[in-house]
Amino acid sequence: MNRRGGCNTAKRLQRGGCSRVYNPRGELTITRNEPADGRSIQLEPQEMSVSLRPGVNLLFPIKVRTQEPLLQLEASGAPEGLNITFRKRTATDGPVFEVSLKVEECPPQNQTGPWSVHIRPSGFSHGAKVEINVDCGCSCLDRPEPHSPHCSLHGTFTCGLCTCDPLYVGARCGTHVSSLEEDANDPEAPCRKGPGAPVCSGKGLCEDGYCVCNELENSSGRFSGRFCECNNFECPLRNGSLCGGQGDCECGQCVCMNGWTGDDCGCSMDPAPCRSENQLIGPLCESCPTCSNRCQDHSSCAECKVFQTHRCEEECRLYTVSLVDTVDDLPAPRCRMFSRQDSCVFHFSYSSSKHLTVTKSKECPGTT
């Protein structure tokens, strides 16, 4: 705790000599994300709720449905101390902006929100709304994690520290008391992955039975893990950036930002490229009941099988037919077609299994 009664930031604690800091990330919840209607410039998503932790950067993408090449975003309503930046990149269906939100310290007098920040294209009135709260409370005591993997499944993880179960000791509860006598001749044994393995994987120092990992000078790279076996700089590259610039590298694996997935965070989860103006259905999206030519494809057999207007035994042998009294009795999709033989209109529907449902009678000029 600092003098103001709030939590210290991770950076401040590290400067004070803390080698391991428990600092949860912020959270982003999308509350409204409607597809663009094509009539105006539109941002996706439209509404979000954000919980920020002091000193922790939160990243998320915003898509803009426009082909305007010079478009930029701006923010309004941001409280003092909130830093908002945008990084633009180009996509096939419009630009995508990576939004970065960060507060270095808790606001004065615990004024932690919520604030409504509006993000919009420069010169436009409509945009996206982000409701922001700053989580300054040290609430980790309320969330103990028994049998935690952080404590080798032999202790309770609370606020970044382990309270070991009986018969287990060590900073990560990884040592059974029965093994202490065996390791008496090697006080650094708890810091080795196995017999004869390097202390802390050769990337740290063993202090009181646990590893304090080395830090890389003049670099944001760091080692981590029980035996300093992990780092944040050996992950797949995409377009010259770790995790494509769309995720964080944690122990050799990319942890992707919202909206991205894949080993290198190079796969967008945006459904827009998969959308079609037509309503495609079926296991393989092979059927388009609203496409204009589908009714035409089935009309000849529908008319022939019911009204015997021409010979179609071979052409329509795979079709089955059922009759209904009125158009309202037809299932979807419904078709309205002019007869090939007269000026009458007949109605029918079809299914992917080549079953036709046809009205019993036609609508002809001069009849009611």
Same-domain pairing of 93 and 124 = yes
188 part of a folded domain: no
If asked whether residues 172 and 108 sit together in one domain, one would say no
**Residue 45: inside a domain:** yes
Structure tokens at 336: 């309205």
Q: Do 65 and 109 belong together in one domain? A: yes
**pLDDT at residue 109, rounded to an integer:** 66
103 and 40 in one domain?
Answer: yes
Q: Is residue 184 predicted with pLDDT exceeding 70?
A: no
pLDDT at 135 over 90: no
Residue 128 has pLDDT above 70, yes or no: yes
Last residue of one domain, picked from the residues 120, 154, 182: 182
Residues of the domain holding 58: 10-138
Question: 113: left (phi > 0), else alpha (psi -120 to 50), else beta?
Answer: left
190 pLDDT tier (thresholds 50, 70, 90): confident
CATH of the domain at 76: 2.60.40.1510
Residue 285 has pLDDT above 60, yes or no: no
Q: Flag whether pLDDT at 6 surpasses 60.
A: no
By the 8 A CB rule, do 264 and 238 touch?
Answer: yes
User: Number of folded domains in the chain?
Assistant: 3
- pLDDT category at 110 given cuts 50, 70, 90 is low
Q: Are residues 56 and 14 in the same domain?
A: yes
CA–CA distance, 356 with 321 (Å, rounded to integer)? 5
Q: CB atoms < 10 A from the CB of 311, how many?
A: 9
Residues 65 and 126 in one domain: yes
- Considering the domain architecture, whether residues 174 and 102 belong to the same structural domain is answered as no
At residue 293, the pLDDT reads: 61
**Would you say residue 349 lies in a domain?**
yes
The larger pLDDT score, comparing residue 341 to residue 58, is at 58
pLDDT at 3: 41
| Same-domain check for residues 30 and 48 | yes
Give residues with Cβ within 8 angstroms of 67, minimum separation 6: 94
Residue 244 lies in a domain: no
Burial 61-91 (b: 16+ CB within 10 A, else e): bbbbbbeeeebebebeebeeebebeeeeeee
CATH code of the domain covering residue 154:
2.10.25
Pairing of strands 320-324, 161-164: unpaired
Q: Does any domain span residue 197?
A: no
66 with 130, same domain? yes
Structural domain includes residue 285: no
pLDDT of amino acid 339 = 79
Question: Tens digits of per-residue pLDDT, 75-97?
Answer: 888 888 888 998 888 776 678 88
Nearest to 332, CA basis, from 366, 359, 357, 361: 357
Same domain, 44 and 114: yes
What is the C-alpha separation between 314 and 341, in angstroms, rounded? 19
Tell me the pTM. Answer: 0.38
Q: Which range is least confidently modeled, 45-54, 62-71, 231-240, 302-311? A: 62-71
Residue 338 to residue 309: CA distance in whole angstroms: 13
Please tell me whether residues 16 and 113 are part of one structural domain: yes
Taking the C-alpha atoms of residue 228 and residue 204, their distance in angstroms, rounded to an integer, is 7
> Residue 5 falls within a domain, yes or no?
no
Chain-centre distance for alpha carbon 66: 22
| Cα gap 215→219, rounded to integer Å | 9
The pLDDT > 70 percentage for the chain reads 79
- Evaluate whether residue 312 is within a structural domain: yes
Whether 41 and 98 share a structural domain? yes
